Amino acid sequence: MARIAGIDLPRDKRIEIGLTYLYGIGLSRSQEILAQTGVNPDTRVRDLSDEDVMKLRSYIESTYQIEGDLRRLENMNIKRLADIGTYRGRRHRQGLPVRGQRTRTNARTRRGRRIAIAGKKKPAAKK
């Protein structure tokens, strides 16, 4: 079982895809890592040798910030924006779109589902 940065990689996936289960590593970065370490991207995670896993682990940990460190860094950046009172920081704090999207419609991801008419009650079911 390959374990990198505290995450168990899925055993039946190709290593190229398995590395994307780490927060901060997408497909292009995964391909770059495999090219640098010389590991075959078509190898299944279960078929990796211990030597390959050690190569991947040491390269990733020395080169990239991933998982908890990256999450912490992102949260600190957002907190910094909010503390100094920037527009982006206020939008993060209010839970609204940050990058200029419209909010009259189409902001469901950030705002959540809304009730159509506030305070209106559904009629009681007849028996």
**Residues 66-105: pLDDT tens digits?**
888 999 999 999 999 999 999 999 999 999 999 989 888 8
Check residues 127 and 42 and name the one with the higher pLDDT.
Answer: 42
pLDDT, one tens digit per residue, over 15-58 is 999 999 999 999 999 999 999 999 999 999 999 889 999 999 99
**Per-residue tokens: 115:** 């009730």
Domains of the chain: 3-63 (1.10.8.50), 73-127 (4.10.910.10)
Check residues 99 and 127 and name the one with the higher pLDDT.
Answer: 99
Give the span between the Cα atoms of 67 and 76, in whole angstroms: 14
Residue 120 has pLDDT above 90, yes or no: no
Average pLDDT over residues 102-117: 82
pTM: 0.73
Give the span between the Cα atoms of 23 and 69, in whole angstroms: 10
Q: Per-residue DSSP letters for 9-55?
A: PPTTSBHHHHGGGSTT--HHHHHHHHHHHT--TTSBGGG--HHHHHH
Residue 7 has pLDDT above 90, yes or no: no
- Read off φ and ψ for residue 8, nearest 5 degrees: -80, 120
